[in-house]
Amino acid sequence: MPARLALPRALRLLTLAAALAAGAAHADDYAEVNQLLRAGNTSEAIARADSYLAGNARDPQMRFLRAVALTDAGRKADAIESFTLLIEEYPELAEPYNNLAAIHAADGDLDRARGLLEQAVRNNPSYAVAHANLGDIYARLAYQAWQRSQQLDPRAGAQLAPKLTQLRSLLQPAAPAANP
pLDDT in tens, 11-21: 444 454 544 45
Q: Quote the pLDDT of residue 94.
A: 97
CA distance 111 to 114: 5
Domain 2-171: give its CATH architecture.
Alpha Horseshoe (1.25)
> What's the pLDDT score for residue 172?
81
Task: Pick the closest to residue 16 from 52, 89, 66 (CA basis).
Answer: 66
Residue 177 has pLDDT above 90, yes or no: no
* Alpha carbon distance 36, 77 (integer Å): 21
Q: Among residues of the chain, what percentage have pLDDT more than 70? A: 82
H or E element in which residue 114 lies? helix 110-123
Torsion of CA 107, 142, 133, 115, to 10 degrees: -70
- Residue-wise burial string across 57-77, b where 16 or more C-beta atoms lie within 10 A, e elsewhere: eebbbbbbbbbbbbbbbebee
Could you give the percent of the chain with pLDDT greater than 90? 69
pLDDT digits (tens, 9 = 90+) for 13-72: 445 454 445 445 467 999 999 999 999 999 999 999 999 999 999 999 999 999 999 999
pTM of the entire predicted model: 0.79
Residue 3 is which amino acid? Answer: A
